[in-house]
Amino acid sequence: MESYSVLMSVYYKEKPRFLKESIDSMLEQTVLTNDFVLVCDGPLTPELDAVIAEYEQNYPNLFQMIRLEQNMGLGRALNIGMEYCTNDLIARMDSDDIALPDRCEKQLNFFAAHPELDIASGSVAEFSTTPDEIQSVRALPQTQEEIKHFIGKRNPINHPCVMYRKKSVLSAGGYQHFPLFEDYYLWARMFLNGAVFYNLPDTLVYMRAGSGMYQRRAGFQYLKTMWKFRWFLRNNHIASWKDFLVSAVGQSVVCMIPNKLREKIYQKLLRK
């Protein structure tokens, strides 16, 4: 079975307990990583630094701690971290989510069985307080053909539980600046570059999804960025005109409604 790197970025607003839970979930995988790259995206709090120092002391040969002098944003931080990853296969992990113990084993087995594969994700179960109280599950189309017909409408990959080949990401230009759409923008460029996708049907990660996540999908600036991104999909023939109009208009409406109603729409209509 192929070795893999873990790539995580953390910044000063993260809660130390969440960071610890996230890292521990990756250290408790049924197939362990031999390379954990943690990018500190700008100065952190003393509490976060204390958590990181503990892992550095307890796992001196496992962690690579990359400290950036200033906050650069998730996409840029991940690009920098990717340069340090020693394996071609990279498991992305957010600093406040919790991976299921067999997450990486399932993905590694699928990569081993399908050497043509460039990127594999799965379902994420969203919670706000505890993983024992799941609010919704974001499941996605599985096969390349299904994803081909889906990518013009919605994000086809769950970024919190993605595993991808470093060379495939870099050949598509890596993460590029596109606020709140950086991962979707990367998948679209990988798709245009001929990458092979797959989504496992299994739930791989418990994802924190408080009201703040839905609040970020609101306001004029988000609306402007969303239309720009939707036009990129249409202009590159990833989305049909119907996909473009339905998605852009639908997102515009959802963007302008109250946050509580937006949260319900995401949970009831766009999740399981």
Using 50, 70 and 90 to split pLDDT, how confident is the model at 157? very high
For position 4, what pLDDT does the model report? 98
Report the pLDDT value the prediction gives residue 211, as an integer from 0 to 100: 45
Structure-token pair, residue 249: 């208009």
Q: What pLDDT is attached to residue 213? A: 56
Q: Residue 39, Cα to own-chain centre: how many angstroms?
A: 15
**Residues contacting 51, CB < 8 A, separation 6+:** 16, 19, 20, 23
Residue 267 predicted with pLDDT over 80:
no
Look at residue 269 in the predicted model and tell me its pLDDT.
Answer: 55
The two three-digit tokens of residue 23, written as one number: 């890292």
Angle between helices 241-256 and 220-235 (to 10 degrees): 170
Q: pLDDT digits over 226-237, tens only?
A: 999 999 999 999
Average pLDDT over residues 57-82: 95
Rounded percentage of the chain residues whose pLDDT exceeds 70: 89
Output the pLDDT for position 129.
85
CATH class, domain 4-209, is alpha beta
Which pLDDT value is given to residue 125?
A: 95
pLDDT at 263 over 90: no
Distance, in Å, from the CA atom of 263 to the CA atom of 272, rounded to the nearest integer, reads: 14
CB-based contact 80:7 (threshold 8 Å): no
pLDDT digits (tens, 9 = 90+) for 14-56: 999 999 999 999 999 999 999 999 999 999 999 999 999 999 9
The pTM score is: 0.91
pLDDT digits (tens, 9 = 90+) for 124-154: 999 988 888 898 899 999 999 999 999 999 9
Residues forming beta bridges with residue 39, ordered by sequence position = 9, 66
Tell me: the pLDDT tens digits for 192-225? 999 999 999 999 999 998 645 555 555 668 888 9
